[in-house]
Amino acid sequence: MTAFPTTRMRRMRANDWSRRLMRENMLTPNDLIWTVVVSDRTNGAEPVPSMPGVERLGVKAAANAAKRARALGIPAVAIFPNIDDSLKDAGGREADNPDGLVANVIKAMKDAAPEIGIICDVALDPFTDHGHDGLLEGGVILNDATVERLCSQALMQANAGCDVIAPSDMMDGRIGVLRAALDSQGFTDTLILSYAVKYASVFYGPYRNAIGSAAVLRGDKKTYQMDPANTDEALREAALDIDEGADMIMVKPGLPYLDVVARLKTEFGMPTYAFQVSGEYAMIEAAAANGWIDGERAMMESLLAFKRAGADGVLTYFAVRAAERLNA
């Protein structure tokens, strides 16, 4: 490279048009997956106190959200349920209820906007009275028994019209078992988005409040979610899920783990996604509310960071606001 003063890097930064010409990464509405909390407590919407601007949506409001996503060019919506406490038990029996909240939301959203992809979380934590993602016995999460319950949950979702099964539980072997179960019931075209790399993170706190699991969670999830110190382990986890039949892989949380996103994309070349989780969202909103940062710019900069790291898309609570800004 020719040295200064012949080379002046600022020349290409001097004007908007030249900055645009050399821009390496772009963010569009096609890169956004809208994460939506749905609730059986309302037909309308109720605010989530720990996540300003985010609401729990009833079935009717969720259907309208699908229409809004379509209008903004957002390709898919990921739904996460908040159910009445009276429906929770140790086995998470409500998770595979074909007449329950999740099934009703899927059907309503598909009726309202069939072009929108519907992604369903596969895990038991919104449905258990202990707040864990799996079945609990003597303080231990039962891996194989949990996977069996997850298959029943996933099949219910697929029957209701879900396009993408997204297991977030981190049980060993669940991708292969889920793929076999879906295929055996004729759902060969149903996609699997694996939470291949999900860390035992502090950044999930506001989400647990949103779905109602924070108050009941016993202990922590460190025996099944990953140690934040590890990245080689992330490659092993992702490789196993890919071998078992995952169509897409995900890293969760997002911004604290951009290095992991980059490693996975480079290593596997798979459709790779990042989840900008509730804590990331809440931090930006809180700082903006206090006047410490420009919230809109922080939102867009954070989303662009995922693209720069190699992510093909981002699950985010900012999807609607970002899409509106990108479409302006």
The residue with tokens 């939506």 is: 36
Catalytic residue, chosen from 88, 252, 265, 307, is 252
Is the CB of residue 271 less than 8 Å from the CB of residue 296? Answer: no
Catalytic residue, chosen from 110, 198, 221, 307, is 198
For residues 238, 242, 245, 246, the Cα torsion angle rounded to the nearest 10 degrees is: 60
Position 195 scores a pLDDT of 97
The overall average pLDDT reported for the chain is: 96
d(CA 238, CA 4): 44
Asked if CATH classification 3.20.20.70 holds for the domain at 26-327, the reply, yes or no, is: yes
Tell me the pLDDT tens digit for each residue of 202-238.
999 998 888 888 878 888 999 999 999 999 999 999 9
Q: How many helices (H) and strands (E) does the chain have?
A: 11, 12
In this prediction, residue 281 has a pLDDT band, given cuts at 50, 70 and 90, of very high
Give me the amino acid identity at 14: A
Is 198 catalytic? The answer is: yes
Tell me the pLDDT tens digit for each residue of 99-119.
999 999 999 999 999 999 999
Q: Is 286 exposed, middle or buried (0-12, 13-18, 19+ CB in 10 A)?
A: middle
Is the CB of residue 210 less than 8 Å from the CB of residue 50? Answer: yes
Tell me the pLDDT tens digit for each residue of 151-208.
999 999 999 999 999 999 999 999 999 999 999 999 999 999 999 999 999 999 998 8
Q: Which among 118, 236, 256, 95 is positioned nearest to 170, based on CA atoms?
A: 236
